[in-house]
Amino acid sequence: MTMSSLKQYTDLFRQERAALDANSPEALNVGRDRAMALLEAAGRLPERSDEGYEKTSVEEMFAPDLGVNVNRVNFPVNVAESFRCDVPNITTLLAVVVNDRFVPTATLLRNLPEGVTVCSLRDADSALLGRWLGKAVEKDDAALAFNSLLLQDGVLIHVAKGVKLTKAIQIVDIFSGQTPLFAPRRVLLVAEEGAEVSVLKCDHTQTQGVEFGSSEVIEIIAGEGAKVDWYDLEESTPETARWCQFRCRQEAHSSLNICAATLTNGSTRNEYLIEIAGDRCETMLSGMAIGSGSQHIDNSSCLVHRSDRSHSDQLFKYVLDDDATGAFEGLIEVAHGARFNEAYQSNRNLLASTGARMHTKPQLLIYNDDVKCSHGATTGQLDSAALFYMRSRGIPLAEARKMLMQAFMVDVVDKIRLENLRDRLRHLLELRFSGNCGDAACATCRGRVAEK
C-alpha cells in the first residue's frame, strides 16, 4: 500500500511540536491538536477519487519531500527581482512574506493610517485574534487542518469601523531558497462596519528549479456595510505547488470583490467558500487562468446565499495550450428561506492545442422559488473567421491570436475596480501571451500560447 504524502507532515509535527509551539502565537497553537485529529481521521490529503477533486490530487501536489522552516531561519531574498516586468507603478502599503515569514517594509510602518493594522499574527492583539481567527466560515476539514498543523505565523489586516483606506495594501509572497520547502501561509482580513479596503496579493517564486509548496488560507470578514476588494496574482514556476482556500463571510449591505489571475505556475488549486450571511450584499468572484506546457490550474467555488435580496456574480475564464490542464467546479447554493436573491455563474474556456484539457462542472442548489439564478459553461477554440479576417488585413497569425486572447480576457480584467491595477494586468497579459515576460517567474513562459 502506498504511503500517503500527508505522513511526512504529521511525522514532522510529532517530532517538532515543542519548537512549533515555542515559535508561534498561542492563537495558532490552540488549534494544532484539533488539526492533527482531523488529518489522522482523513488519513490522506484529497485525491481525484474525492468529490470536488476530480482533476486535482493534492496528495500528488505535496508528495515531494519538502522541508519546513520550523526554526524560523531568515532566507535571503531580493524583493526587486520579483518586480522586473515593466508595468505602471501602483502606490501601495507594501508588506512581504518570504516563504512563511512576514516582513513589513518601512513604507508600510510609516504610512499606516489610524484605525488600520497590518502586522504578523505573532504581533497581533491576542483578543482580536481570539475573536476573529477561524471565524469567517467555521468549517473543520482536512484543507484547513493541513494549513493549521504547521502554521507558525501569518498576516493580520484589520480596518476599524468606518475607516476608508485610500491606498491599497499589497502583500508579496516570495518563495526563495536553495532546498525544497513547504510554507503554510495565512491571511486574516477583518473589515469592520462601514470600512473600505483593497488588497493586492502577489505570489512569486524567485528561485528557479527548486520545488516549493504552499498551503494558503485567506480569511475575509466583511462587516455590515463594509467594502472589500481582494486581488490575487500568481506568477510562479513549474516546480511550485499552491493549495489556497478562501473563506469569506459577508454581513448585511457589504460588498466583496475577489479577482484572481494565474499567469504562470506549476500546479494550483484555489478554493472559494463564501457565505453571504446578511441581507442586500453584493458579491463578485472572478478569475482568469493562462496555462501552457504542463501547467495545471483548478478553481473551485461554493457561494452560499443565506439571507435576502443579495446579488452575486461569478466569472472564470481559461486559455490553455500545449498539454496544460484546467478545471472549474462552481456551486451556487440558495438556502431555505433566502428570498429574492440573484446569483449568476459563468465559465468560458479556450483550448489552443489538441493536447490541452478542460474540466468544467457548474452547479446550482436552490431551496426556494423566489430567486433568479443561472449558470453556464462553454469550451472552444479561437474564432477561425476572426483570425482569417485579421490575417487578410495584414496582421501576422501570432499577433492576431494574441489580440483575440487578450480580448477574451477583457471582461475579467474589467472586474478590477482599481484603474492602475487594471492597466498592470492588461500589460502582464500582453507579456504573457507574447512570451516576453522578463520576470524571473515568467522565464518559463515561451509564448507558445500565441505563436501557434
pLDDT, residue 394, reads: 74
For the chain, the straight-line distance linking the first and the last C-alpha, in angstroms and rounded, comes to 43
Q: Give the chain's mean pLDDT.
A: 89
Q: Which of 86-90, 207-211, 429-433 has the lowest mean pLDDT?
A: 86-90
Q: d(Cα 199, Cα 207) in Å, to the nearest integer?
A: 25
Residue 447 gets which letter from DSSP? Answer: S
**Predicted confidence (pLDDT) per residue in 52-82, tens digit:** 999 999 999 999 999 999 988 877 666 655 4
Asked if residue 450 has pLDDT above 60, the reply is no
pTM of the model: 0.92
Can you read off the three cell numbers belonging to residue 297? 490550474
The pairing of strands 371-380 and 341-351 is parallel
The confidence band for 210, taking pLDDT boundaries of 50, 70 and 90, is: very high
The confidence band for 92, taking pLDDT boundaries of 50, 70 and 90, is: confident
Q: Which of 169-173, 313-317, 400-404, 413-417 has the lowest mean pLDDT?
A: 400-404
The confidence band for 400, taking pLDDT boundaries of 50, 70 and 90, is: confident
**Predicted confidence (pLDDT) per residue in 152-176, tens digit:** 999 999 999 999 999 999 999 999 8
Q: d(Cα 270, Cα 300) in Å, to the nearest integer?
A: 6
The confidence band for 141, taking pLDDT boundaries of 50, 70 and 90, is: confident
pLDDT, residue 79, reads: 61
Q: Closest by alpha carbon to 256, among 209, 310, 206, 183? A: 310
Residues in the chain: 452
* Beta bridge mates, 304: 275, 333
pLDDT, residue 139, reads: 80
Q: What is the mean pLDDT of residues 285-294?
A: 95
The confidence band for 384, taking pLDDT boundaries of 50, 70 and 90, is: confident
Q: d(Cα 261, Cα 318) in Å, to the nearest integer?
A: 10
Planar angle of CA 191, 194, 250, nearest 5 degrees: 55
pLDDT, residue 80, reads: 59
Residues 332 and 343 sit within 8 Å (Cβ to Cβ) = yes
Q: Which residue has the higher pLDDT, 166 or 392?
A: 166
Residues 324 and 309 sit within 8 Å (Cβ to Cβ) = no
Q: Which of 34-43, 191-200, 272-281, 371-380 has the lowest mean pLDDT?
A: 371-380
pLDDT, residue 131, reads: 92
Asked if residue 427 has pLDDT above 90, the reply is no
Q: Which of 109-113, 114-118, 151-155, 224-228 has the lowest mean pLDDT?
A: 109-113
Q: What is the mean pLDDT of residues 299-306?
A: 97
Q: Which residue has the higher pLDDT, 30 or 87?
A: 30
pLDDT, residue 90, reads: 67
Q: What is the mean pLDDT of residues 216-245?
A: 97
The confidence band for 106, taking pLDDT boundaries of 50, 70 and 90, is: confident
Indicate the domain borders of the chain. 7-388
Helix (H), strand (E), coil (C) string for 128-154: HHHHHCCCCCCCCCHHHHHHHHHCCCC
Q: What is the mean pLDDT of residues 21-40?
A: 93
Helices and strands, counts by H and E, the chain: 12, 20
pLDDT, residue 437, reads: 55
pLDDT, residue 436, reads: 61
Residues 320 and 326 sit within 8 Å (Cβ to Cβ) = yes
Q: How far is CA 435 from CA 31, 276, 357, 429, in A?
A: 44, 40, 21, 10
Would you give the distance in Å from CA 80 to the centre of its chain? 22
